[in-house]
Chains A and B, each alone.
Chain A
């Protein structure tokens, strides 16, 4: 047994507080698994380009009393908000009809049985930090949307790390089961008011029912000394649609494993994302599309701009199983390096076991286009301002595809500010 992250005490402390035998066993089994897993090194394929050294410098503890924080605010967007501060539910709006929310920390005896059932068939794979999440899980928010429910208002899960979260590990789990033929928008935001170090470890599990339609945002907006290691796992049932948008601003270390499984035929996935590390920040997206059944379609587009001495990793895997005939899957990853010390490791992986499929992937690393640059210059725009506008455009192209104007309005100024070292240079954006 090893405990490189010095978290065993936190695990034991959590166990001691609970009288729920099943939950304790569930967490203990995860702890055993986590402790038995060799700590990743450069030779560990999944962590080759993302060193975890920085996770070892802190004795992580769980938050006893959550702090306070506002989190992410959208202007003019009527939505249902559930705010979690330091992993604990601080506040939640009244829920619309057809939506049930269960909290692990407040489960009634009846709900405990339901949780046991749901958590047992958890979709989580064997990712290291999904296991960690299970071992230290104090809170899970489980949202159940009844079949044939169309939610007018988006549901916003507003995760905040408070200023008193320094030294805390914050494992938290969100589960969404969207019933057949239902439609909704789920917005997950992560922000931090902590000086750090702080470690957020979220796991999101989504099931999109038959012919249901989900618009999903998963926005990692924390900056500063935040380490964010987590996963998103989704299962698509027959003829469902999922449109999922991811974004990672900097922060010391971010790693997101996204796994989407086509489990019912005829489903469609649009998976887009942007990552923007600068300074000495590090962002890593590992995505896996599992096409397990025929007639599924997936389109994945990720773009990154890596500046200064920052590093990014993108690993996009498409796995087309033997029976998944007539699959259409496309993956594109484009990167822009704005400094000669910036680094990107991008790797598309195709594994195809069916013979009647269409699959395409491409990854590029580039600098700003010279022809475009001359176009700006020839109109009197300075080189510096042109660089800012072109970088912004490279990312904004994906933002433009979003359905929800308030999300664009939140993200566009963040982008503009990011690219412009001086505000003056970003004055024509936003």
Chain B
């Protein structure tokens, strides 16, 4: 589904990714862990097509085509979803309007009929319940005045409504208390399916207690330096990231 080969990227004048390789197959959950500044968020942003993130080398193939050729909106329509580390507040645009516009755009791209407003409202309410957000959050401005945890749950709500093929969660666990973490994990687990790939980017092992990954990768200095199974995350938890540095050196 996703094939990243020797990816180099920079943000403004700073080179961040230095030859990153990663393959994600449908049905797999990959965790990417690493110290601050390793390039974790850069990876998510490059994949989603955020302006300012420039690919300087390598290839990214998604479902057989060149992902990097696509505009950000076309990547989303092709099923790539980035859950933001810092979701944006858009006062004056209601969450409902935003969600409906988004779902319509994605459904149209898939060749499906746009949903009727009634059906959509029903569905949105249902998903709100699933991520433990009160329904009045649908009427509020997008992320406006939401707490950190509410913003992350709103990202998850979008993900559930859009049903993407490839989900990238960029430090969705940061700033969450244990209850919110469990809600998010439950939501992500509900989305696990044989035809969906999930990349969980995180600094801490904690989230992986609830979202059990098939693979764990350590990202350091812009490259995947170690890959393994679930146990690698536990090792990192125990020993921190410094031993990786030593090993890489």
Complex CA distance for A395 and B90, rounded to whole angstroms: 12
Q: Does B61 contact A (CB under 8 A)?
A: no
Per-residue contact bits, chain A 378-420, to B (CB 8 Å; 1 contact, 0 not): 1111110100011011111100100000000000000000000
| Binary A-proximity of B66-94 (CB < 8 A = 1, otherwise 0) | 00000111011100011010011011110
Q: Assess the B92–A379 pair: CB atoms within 8 A.
A: no
Which residues of B lie under 8 Å from residue A371 when comparing CB positions? 88
**A400 CB contacts on chain B under 8 angstroms:** 92, 141
**What's the Cα separation between A251 and B44 when bound, in Å?**
47
Q: Considering the chains assembled together, what is the distance between the CA atoms of A427 and B117 in angstroms?
A: 11
Question: Cβ of B100: which chain A residues have Cβ within 8 Å of it?
Answer: 428
A127 near B: Cβ within 8 Å? no
Tell me which residues across on chain B come within 8 A of A372, comparing CB atoms.
88, 90
How many interface residues does chain B have, given as a range?
20 to 34
Once the chains bind, are B88 and A428 in contact (CB under 8 Å)? no
Is B90's CB under 8 angstroms from A381's CB? no
Bound-complex Cα distance A390 to B158 (A): 18
Cβ–Cβ < 8 Å partners of B90 in chain A? 372, 375, 390, 393
Given A375, A393, A395, which contacts B87 in the complex, CB threshold below 8 Å? A375
Interface of A, secondary structure class, is helix
Chain B residue with the shortest CB-CB distance to A393: B92
Q: Does B241 contact A (CB under 8 A)?
A: no
Give CA–CA (A375, B97) in the complex, Å: 14
Query: How distant is the Cα of A381 from the Cα of B109 in the complex, in angstroms?
Result: 11
| Structural contact, A378 and B72, CB atoms closer than 8 A | yes
Q: Kindly identify which residue among A382, A383, A385, A396 contacts B92, using a CB–CB cutoff of 8 Å.
A: A396
Contact with A along B37-52 (1 / 0, CB 8 A): 0000000000011110
Q: Which residues of B contact A380 (CB under 8 A)?
A: 73, 76-77, 102, 105-106, 109, 162
Are A393 and B141 in contact, with the CB atoms below 8 A? yes
Is there contact, CB below 8 Å, between B105 and A390? no
Q: Are A395 and B92 in contact (CB under 8 A)?
A: yes
Give Cα A92–Cα B228 distance, bound, in whole angstroms.
81
List B contacts of A396 (CB < 8 A).
Answer: 92-93
Q: How far is the CA of A370 from the CA of B92 in the complex (A)?
A: 17
Contact present for A377 and B73 (CB under 8 Å)? yes
A135 to B132, CA, bound (A): 65
Please state if B73 and A375 are interface contacts (CB–CB under 8 Å): no
B76 touches A389 (CB 8 A): no
Q: Is the CB of B162 within 8 A of A379?
A: yes
Min Cβ gap B211→A in Å is 22
Given contacts A392-B92, A393-B141, are A381 and B73 in contact (CB under 8 A)? Answer: yes
Q: Is the CB of A370 within 8 A of B158?
A: no
A390→B93 contact, CB < 8 A: yes
What is the chain B residue whose CB lies nearest that of A370?
A: B51
A interface residues (Cβ-Cβ under 8 A, vs B) = 370-372, 374-383, 385, 389-390, 392-397, 400, 427-429
Further contacts, 8 of them, CB under 8 A, given A376-B101, A378-B84: A377-B71, A378-B73, A379-B101, A380-B77, A380-B162, A385-B101, A397-B91, A428-B101
What are some 17 contacts across the A-B interface (CB < 8 A)? A372-B90, A375-B88, A377-B73, A377-B76, A378-B75, A378-B82, A379-B102, A379-B105, A379-B106, A380-B73, A381-B101, A392-B92, A392-B93, A397-B91, A397-B92, A400-B92, A428-B101
